């Protein structure tokens, strides 16, 4: 079972990384970020609600479940994606992939606050290594665009929210719903929020006019996101927040590779050093070897 979980983790990492890289040309084409998020949620809600129906399950929109849907919609999609898309217009996709490696750096302190993890000196050094990796990225030697430090700070909002979300889901559960139901419900609840934001910010995207390659990428990304994100929620419940957070290793590695292969990005030595330091931090802050993950092995 442990090998299956690791294999599934790798699949999630490759898919998640691909959505990040494919978002780069979409953002650069000038599409509004909340318009992108709106159609991502609309397509996700359609696919995942249909999957639930096929499996003979409903997506209950009850008073008990709405807070969960709202939390996942805001903390797992709207806010982190908005931060990522804003930053992606100013930073290389590969650098964004390195930043997502900070998820466990945020997940571990949150786990300590919730008393679901125990303190360990090694993991503290992992957090410090993560901070050093970010410091290297924002340094002038990284050869990133001017003002990159600001956009890196904005980009860090996404892994922070993912770390918080993973811990909350792991500790309080999903109210008896499976991951597909949770994400379907979150997409339905998030739709009007994203729609209002798209209109207010002028980011509305008309899918029926001038359909081009970038709009096709929005559809493709939305489909991938629906399955990858529901898989992530499943993995959190199956193996624990800390184990699932290790997807950051793979998102980062695959993200850099995808960006080089698909976008032709190349990086300075300092960026590679930052990547190495972030991986060291991930290694040191890795989850406990006992607990949920071991029980499911």
pLDDT tens-digit series, residues 220-229: 988 898 888 7
Residue 288: band (very low, low, confident or very high) from pLDDT cuts 50, 70, 90: low
Between 116 and 78, the more confident residue is 78
Structure tokens given for 250: 């793979």
How confident is the model at residue 59, as a pLDDT? Answer: 93
Q: In the predicted model, what is the mean pLDDT of residues 64-89? A: 93
Give the residue numbers spanning the domain of 134: 2-295
How much of the chain, in percent, has pLDDT values that exceed 90?
35
How confident is the model at residue 158, as a pLDDT? Answer: 93
How confident is the model at residue 1, as a pLDDT? Answer: 60
Q: What is the rounded distance in angstroms from the CA atom of residue 262 to the CA atom of residue 180?
A: 30
How confident is the model at residue 250, as a pLDDT? Answer: 85
In sequence order, what are the residues at sequence separation of 6 or more whose Cβ sits closer than 8 angstroms to the Cβ of residue 78? Answer: 37, 190, 193, 194, 197
How confident is the model at residue 290, as a pLDDT? Answer: 41
Residue 186: band (very low, low, confident or very high) from pLDDT cuts 50, 70, 90: very high
pLDDT(297) > 70: no
Looking at 27-31, 38-42, 240-244, 284-288, which range is the least confident one? 284-288
Over the stretch 236-263, which tens digit does the pLDDT of each residue have? 777 776 677 677 778 888 999 999 999 9
Q: What is the rounded distance in angstroms from the CA atom of residue 119 to the CA atom of residue 112?
A: 7
How confident is the model at residue 78, as a pLDDT? Answer: 95
Q: Where are the alpha helices (DSSP H) in the chain?
A: 2-28, 33-54, 66-73, 79-88, 93-99, 103-113, 121-138, 148-155, 157-172, 179-200, 213-239, 241-245, 247-263, 269-284, 292-295
How confident is the model at residue 292, as a pLDDT? Answer: 37
Number of domains composing the chain: 1
pLDDT(296) > 50: no
119 by DSSP, 3-state: which? coil
Q: In the predicted model, what is the mean pLDDT of residues 52-61? A: 89
Over the stretch 119-141, which tens digit does the pLDDT of each residue have? 778 878 888 888 888 888 887 77
Whole-number average pLDDT of the chain: 85
């Amino acid at each position: 079972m442990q090998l299956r979980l690791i294999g599934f983790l790798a699949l999630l990492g490759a898919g998640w990384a691909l959505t990040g890289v494919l978002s780069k040309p979409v953002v650069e084409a000038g599409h509004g970020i909340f318009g992108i998020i709106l159609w991502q949620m609309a397509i996700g809600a359609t696919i995942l609600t249909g999957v639930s129906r096929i499996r003979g399950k409903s997506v209950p929109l009850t008073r008990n479940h709405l807070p969960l849907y709202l939390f996942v919609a805001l903390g797992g999609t709207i806010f982190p994606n908005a931060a990522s898309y804003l930053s992606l217009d100013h930073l290389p996709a590969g650098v964004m992939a390195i930043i997502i490696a900070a998820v466990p750096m945020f997940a571990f302190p949150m786990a300590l606050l919730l008393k679901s993890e125990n303190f360990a000196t090694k993991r503290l050094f992992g957090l410090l290594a993560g901070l050093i990796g970010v410091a290297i990225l924002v340094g002038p030697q990284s050869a990133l665009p001017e003002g990159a430090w600001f956009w890196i700070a904005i980009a860090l909002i996404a892994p922070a929210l993912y770390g918080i979300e993973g811990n909350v889901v792991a500790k309080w559960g999903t109210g008896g719903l499976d991951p597909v139901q949770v994400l379907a419900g979150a997409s339905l609840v998030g739709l009007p929020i994203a729609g209002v934001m798209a209109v207010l910010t002028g980011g509305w995207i008309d899918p029926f006019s001038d359909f081009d390659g970038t709009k096709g990428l929005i559809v493709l990304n939305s489909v991938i996101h629906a399955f990858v994100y529901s898989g992530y929620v499943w993995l959190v419940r199956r193996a624990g927040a800390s184990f699932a957070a290790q997807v950051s290793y793979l998102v980062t590695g695959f993200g850099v590779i995808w960006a080089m292969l698909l976008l032709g990005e190349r990086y300075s030595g300092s960026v590679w050093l930052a990547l190495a330091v972030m991986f060291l931090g991930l290694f040191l802050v890795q989850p406990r070897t006992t607990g949920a993950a071991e029980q499911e092995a």
